[in-house]
Amino acid sequence: MIGIRQKLVLGFSGLLLIVAAMGLITIRQIDELGGAIDVILKQNYRSVVACQDMTEALERIDSGVLFTFSGHYDEGMNNIREHELNFRKALGVEFGNITLPGEGLKALQIRSQFSQYIGVIKRVTDPSLSLYERQRTYFSTLLPLFRHIKHLSAEVLEMNQSNMNEANNSARYMAASAHNIMLAALLASAVFAVLFSYLSHRWILMPIKKLIVSAEEIRNGNLDLVIDTDSTDEIGKLSESFNEMAATLRKMRKSDQETLIRTRRVTEEVFKVLPSPIAVLDLNGNVEVSTESADHYFGLKPGVNAHDLGYEWLTVLLQKALRQGSAAEYSESNGFIQHFAESREFFFEPMAVPVRAGIESDRFAGTVLILRDVTQLHELLELKCNVISTVSHQLRTPLTSLRMSVHLLLEERVGQLNEKQEELLFAAREETERLVHILDDLLDINRIESGKAHLNFAPVLPFRMSIEGIEPFLVAARDKGVSIENRTPESLPVILADRESLRHVYANLLSNALRFTSPGGTVTLSASEEQENIRFSIADTGAGIGSEHVEHLFEQFYRVPGQEEKSGIGLGLSIVKEIIEAHGGKVGAESVSGKGSVFWFTIPKGGEAS
């Protein structure tokens, strides 16, 4: 089996061999071309220059001889001596650069002839001889020697020039040969590269493209795809593994589908027997799964669109859950909906929970609607309210008579009292007053929870409200040694509130602040604008409340441990909470043990001052 690695190695090895062979041939051609150039530059060229120098020096010597004939004897002799040295120097260069056959013999002949030539010059330039005698010797002996030496130098020059031409032609031939070889090697490399590219496309790219297309098909859900391959290399093995993966995915999909169907059936069966109305809806509001009670009470059965059932609160709740991306509860009517079925009144507490499409997905696939049946709880609350109302009213009549009797006795209208009797009657009066306040609190919270409390909303200035709230406590604060500071700005916008209810809120919070603030302490009222609300705060420098108790302060009948029995039964702050929530605001407390407490509440802005 020839794998992809071997195919790539063969292909690149072929290219490497061609490049190596081309490089070796090129290096050899360059070396030969360098040798030819070396012959031209180093060998023949020096001999050519030497022959030219000898010829020039010989002609200068001859001119010097002629100068001696024309009356310029000294100048001619200087010229002869100077150029004799130049000739011998050039001849020495020639003897040091003999490279051609016969060139050495020619050089020896030149040296022998030149020696004879110099000997004849001495006779020709002898001033003791007559001019005629010297001229005759010149033409008969010296001039033939001059011509012969010049001829020999010309022959040596011609020999070297001829060899230079041959070397030049050889260099041209080698350059042309190297050019042709390089061109042929490049063409062979190009052909091999094209062939290798074609084979690579066939061996590697085409199978990979098939795998990519197959992967796209599987991503689109086509798990029935099978890749045909006749290759035994790595691509072939990968294709086989791909087919095995697709087969495994098909098995898993079948198993998952069976599991999903089984789970859905189990879920449907379990849903049917759940007592609470529960329904699973898609993003369009279509019911997918529901309990029998959801179908029985609200008509929420599979296939029905919840928006077509006519429940306005249901549509709003589903949209709210999807919009905020978390569980949404019904916020109107104290969180309950009233529903009539089978000639009976029911109360449900609805909640919608969005269902995400995946574990880490930001998209939603639908919602779960849960309706908690609170009918019994609501009936118990009504029963409690009725009992409290009945008991409170029943107790009020005898309590009023008891108060009247105590007052009459203390006024001594039925006889004088001794000191001990007065103490007992004073204690009885305090306890009856405490019972009256407890009954009033019970009746107040009962009226507010039942919705029977009538609130007369009107525009009120926060600053004026704070003045009215402080005024009843100024004397008590002075007697206890506690200062009350009002830091409510006069420029705050008006709020829409019921004056009497807010006076009750101030009365409760200020009485608590004064009760738990030691002499020398301070109670501070303040208010500030907070978006669409006005935030009121009452801070004291009292003992503070432990953090474990703060979250329970506004619960009914909750009393912080350690308080006196006469401090109440724990309904004051719960009444405050009910009043503020009836105004559409919120209430809270912040406290650190040993550093005082801050009670705050918010009231929406609106209207004009009255």
At residue 168 the predicted structure's pLDDT band, cuts being 50, 70 and 90, is confident
Percent of the chain with pLDDT over 70: 70
Please provide the distance, in angstroms rounded to a whole number, between the alpha carbons at the two ends of the chain: 100
More confident residue, 393 or 512: 512
Query: What is the mean pLDDT of the segment spanning 194-211?
Result: 69
pLDDT value for 603: 92
Q: What is the value of pTM for the model shown?
A: 0.40
Nearest to 522 by CA among 538, 545, 541: 541
* Number of neighbours of residue 326 by Cβ within 10 angstroms: 11
Q: What is the 3-state secondary structure (H, E, C) of 146-187?
A: HHHHHHHHHHHHHHHHHHHHHHHHHHHHHHHHHHHHHHHHHH
CATH 2.60.120 fits 4-195, yes or no: no
For 275, the 3-state DSSP assignment is coil
Q: 561 or 500: which carries more pLDDT confidence?
A: 500
Fold of domain 381-449? Helix Hairpins (1.10.287)
pLDDT at 286: 87
In the structure, what pLDDT confidence band is assigned to residue 536 with cuts at 50, 70 and 90?
very high
Token digits for 6?
């071997």
Q: Taking each helix axis as running N to C, give the angle between helix 375-410 and helix 419-450, from 0 to 180 degrees, rounded to the nearest 10.
A: 150
What distance in Å separates the CA atoms of residue 593 and residue 516, rounded to the nearest whole number?
12
In the prediction, which pLDDT does 444 show? 60
Q: What is the model's pLDDT at position 488?
A: 92
Residue 300: predicted pLDDT: 81
Model confidence at 387: pLDDT above 70: no
Q: What's the whole-number mean pLDDT along residues 443-459? A: 65
Reply yes or no on whether the pLDDT at 454 is more than 70: no
Judged against a pLDDT cut of 90, whether residue 601 lies above it is answered with yes
Fold for domain 455-604? Heat Shock Protein 90 (3.30.565)
Looking at CATH, the fold of the domain delimited by 274-371 is given as Beta-Lactamase (3.30.450)
Phi then psi for residue 255, to 5 deg, are -65, -40
Summarised one tens digit per residue, pLDDT across range 57-73 is: 888 888 888 888 888 88
State yes or no: pLDDT of 526 exceeds 90.
yes
Burial of residue 530 (CB within 10 Å: 0-12, 13-18, 19+) is: exposed
Using DSSP's 3-state secondary structure scheme, residue 113 falls into helix
